[in-house]
Structure 1
Amino acid sequence: MKDIKNIYCVGRNYALHAKELNNEIPTSPFLFSKPTHSLVEANGQSITLPSNQGSVHFETELVIHIAKQFESGMKVDEIVDSMAIGLDLTLRDVQSQLKQKQHPWLLAKGFKNSAVVSDFIPFPGVEACEQLDFSLLKNGERVQVGNIKDLLFDLQTIIEFTAEHFGLGKGDIIYTGTPSGVGPLSDQDQLSLNWGGNEIGSCSVTMG
C-alpha cells in the first residue's frame, strides 16, 4: 500500500445519505479524520471488526490520494495522482450515543480496521471519473452505488477546504463521502469494492 500520512473523511456529502440518517444537509464541508492504525487494504483477506459495540455499518466512498503539497490555485487533476474505493466503517450505535452527548465521533469512526481501502489505481481526471460509478457488493448483491457527480461539495472544494483548515500534503488521502444505502455488516460477509463494474478490492468480515 502507498505510504499514507493523514486520513481525512468528508461526512454527509451526498444529500440522500444525510436524509437517510436524519441529518441536516451541511452548508459547508463537514470533515473528520481517522488514525492511520484504522487503515487496512482489502486484498482478499478476512478483516476483523468489533462484535461487542453494537452495529458496524459500511459506508462506501471514492478515496483520492494526494501526490504533492497543496499550493493555492492547484486544481484536482494537478494534485491527485491515484484513487481507490474505500469503506468508512462506523460503529453506528456508538456514534448515535456520541451524537446525543455532543461528543466527537472518534470512538465510532477510528477503531482498528475502520478505514478499508482497495488497490489504488491511476486517477483519470475529474471529468473521466464522473463517467463511472463506484459500488459495493455484499455477498454478491449490490448494496451501494455512487458517482462523484452527485457530491454536495465537489473534489475541488473538498481539497481547498481541507488544505485551508488542516493542511494537505503528499501521502494524505481523503474519503470523499458516501451515497445512500449504508447498512450493517455481519460475520462472514463477503465484500467486493468496484469501480465501473470492475472489482479492485475485496475482503470478508470476521466479527471478533
Structure 2
Amino acid sequence: MVEMVRNIYCVGRNYVLHAEELGNEVPKSPMIFSKPTHALVQTNGQEIALPGNRGEVHYEAEFVIHIGRDYEPGLQVKDLVNRMALGIDFTLRDVQSELKKKGHPWLLAKGFPNSAIVTEFLTFPGLEACRSTDFSLIRNGEQVQRGNIKDMLFDLQTIIEFIAANFGLGAGDMIYTGTPAGVGPVADGDNLRLVWGEDTLGECTIRLV
C-alpha cells in the first residue's frame, strides 16, 4: 500500500486540546501541510531512525485515511476513502518553533526521512464504526495519547473537500487527519505501539542518530 501513495497531506491543530497544549490559536479553517513521500515508512516492528541532533523529536499519533478514487464534487467520505490506518507525524519541535518565529514554512520540521510512519492499512469500516472506536499511542507500555475522530475540529468530509478545492485530491493520496492532546518527545530506544480499539496495528523502536 505504501508504494501506491502519491501525496501525503496532513492536518494541523485539528483537536482543540492539542492546539491549546502547544499554546496555538485554534484555527477557523483546516490548516494543511504536506510531507514528501520520502518521509513515509510502514511499521513492521523494526527500528526507525530519526534525527538525534536537531532538538526534540515529538510524536503525534493520528488517524490516517487513504483515498481510493479521484475526487469529484458531491462525493462523500464513503465514496472516496477505501482504507484507513494509524500513523505518527514526527515533528522536530525546536526546529518548528524557530520556523514559526520567522514566519517560515514548516517543511524542515515535518518532512525529514521517516517522519511519517504508518501502520498496516485496514479496509475502511465506515464513519460510524470509526466514531465508535478510539485510537491510542502506547510508549514503552504506557498510553500517552488517545483520540477519536468524533472529537476532530474539522471532520473528514470538510478536510477532503478543503484539500480537493485547494490542492487537488486523487487516488493514492493519504491524509493524516490531526493529533489529539498528549504529544511529547521521543527518546532513543522508545517502543511505540499504535492501537485501534484493542488491536495493535503497528509498532516500532526509535533510534536517534
**TM-score, scaled relative to structure 1:** 0.99
Pairing of 1:187-198 with structure 2 (within 5 A): 187-198=188-199
Pairing of 1:189-208 with structure 2 (within 5 A): 189-208=190-209
Structure 1's unaligned 5+ residue stretches are none
Pairing of 1:1-208 with structure 2 (within 5 A): 1-2=1-2, 3-208=4-209
Q: Number of aligned pairs?
A: 208
Query: Distance in 2 between the 1:90 and 1:78 partners?
Result: 32
| Structure 1 letter corresponding to 2:208 | M
**TM-score, scaled relative to structure 2:** 0.99
Deviation at 1:197, TM superposition (A): 1.5
Deviation at 1:52, TM superposition (A): 0.5
Which stretches of structure 1, 4 residues or more, deviate above 3 A after TM superposition? none
Give the secondary-structure state (helix, strand or coil) at the position aligned to 2:46.
strand
Query: Distance in 2 between the 1:196 and 1:19 partners?
Result: 26
Query: Distance in 2 between the 1:177 and 1:197 partners?
Result: 21
Deviation readout 1:68-121 (Å, 9 max, x if unpaired): 000000000110000000000000000000000000000000000000100000
Give the secondary-structure state (helix, strand or coil) at the position aligned to 2:45.
strand
Give the secondary-structure state (helix, strand or coil) at the position aligned to 2:138.
strand
Give the secondary-structure state (helix, strand or coil) at the position aligned to 1:43.
coil
Q: CA RMSD in A?
A: 0.5
Query: Distance in 2 between the 1:98 and 1:199 partners?
Result: 35
